[in-house]
Amino acid sequence: MLERPVSETSIGFVGLGTMGMPMAKNAIKAGFDVTGFDLREEILAAFVEAGGDRTDSLAALATECAIVSVIVQDDDQVKNVVAGPDGVFDHCGDETLVLIHSTIHPETPEQLAETAPGNVTVLDAPVSGTRTRAESADLAFMVGGDEQALDYVRPYLDSMGANVHAMGDVGSGEVAKIANNLVGISNMMTTAEGVALGTEWGLDQKDLLAVMAESSADSFVLENWEWLTDGWDDVQPGGWDGVAHICQKDLLLALDLAESVDLPVPGTAVASQEVPAFFRGLTDEG
């Protein structure tokens, strides 16, 4: 394990998007030395304005930073950042800790941990929470991997989230996140259908939402309904289409995990097929 206290360890952050930027900013606010990497020049410029350092190559980041956080879109991007040509594995120092925050198939962090150089420890540490919770450092982390490594890096994770959960071996954090997203996305879709049903029959939406909030329909989705159904064009790259892509990806991951253990999940199967139409409907309804 790294010899320096985590507070004195240089940190690299790959992916300064919807969630990554506020996460990295909170780490900076907590006093951590954070270097950011992103393919978008305007994002890197904004990160520097927030007090971070920047680099234009993964090789330089891996060489300079003993802890590397990765939060990119999908499995292929994670593999390319961590184990691709000129990636983190090719240039990391004597002791390096890689934290994977992306929502991906659990086999990906498992494979990366198995093929990592002997001086590298890999943890999967996906996050749950909206961008608002990322900005307020109120995220939940689900972590899979070596508990000693988690204990070491916990103060860094605490700077970005309110809850850090040890889930088991490498990959188990991803299983927890996918299970969570299955429930959250399905709940959003059924809530939208319930709201649409009531309003089509002439109910006032605000009155209906108030009743549902006091009844068995209450949920995180309902409590954040106004935020979840407004403003994504300004938050998520690609707007509603981008959100639909991510949600469908997560539900398909859930289907794949369920199939691997012969678990019937018919509700997830239906939801995964209807994601694009669902989000088109939200867009049309405003």
- The ranges assigned to domains in the chain are 6-169, 175-285
The CA distance from 145 to 58, in Å, is: 23
- pLDDT over 70 at 1, yes or no: no
Residue 236: how many other CB atoms lie within 10 Å: 19
The dihedrals phi and psi of 105, each to the nearest 5 degrees, come to: -65, 135
Q: Which of 3, 24, 18, 53 is nearest to 234 (CA)?
A: 18
pLDDT tens digits, one per residue of 117-154: 999 999 999 999 888 899 999 999 999 999 999 999 99
More confident residue, 232 or 112: 112
Predicted TM-score (pTM) of the model is 0.91
Handedness of CA 160, 163, 165, 171 (dihedral sign): negative
More confident residue, 283 or 205: 205
Examine the residue annotation and report whether 177 is marked as an active-site residue of this protein: yes
Q: Which of 209, 243, 203, 244 is nearest to 223 (CA)?
A: 209
Q: What is the mean pLDDT of residues 233-259?
A: 80
Looking at the chain, how many residues does it have?
286
Q: Which residue has the tokens 């089509």?
A: 200
More confident residue, 283 or 126: 126
Question: Residue 281's pLDDT band (boundaries 50, 70, 90)?
Answer: low
More confident residue, 281 or 164: 164
Q: What is the mean pLDDT of residues 26-50?
A: 96
Q: What is the mean pLDDT of residues 265-277?
A: 83
pLDDT score, position 259 = 96
Question: Residue 240's pLDDT band (boundaries 50, 70, 90)?
Answer: low
pLDDT tens digits, one per residue of 86-117: 999 999 988 999 999 999 999 999 999 999 99
In CATH, what is the architecture of 6-169?
3-Layer(aba) Sandwich (3.40)
Segments in the chain forming alpha helices (H):
20-29, 41-49, 58-64, 75-83, 88-91, 107-115, 131-135, 147-158, 172-200, 205-213, 220-223, 225-228, 232-235, 239-260, 266-285
Yes or no: domain 175-285 corresponds to CATH 1.10.443.10: no
Annotated catalytic residue, options 25, 79, 177, 206? 177
Contact present, 155 and 6 (Cβ < 8 Å): yes
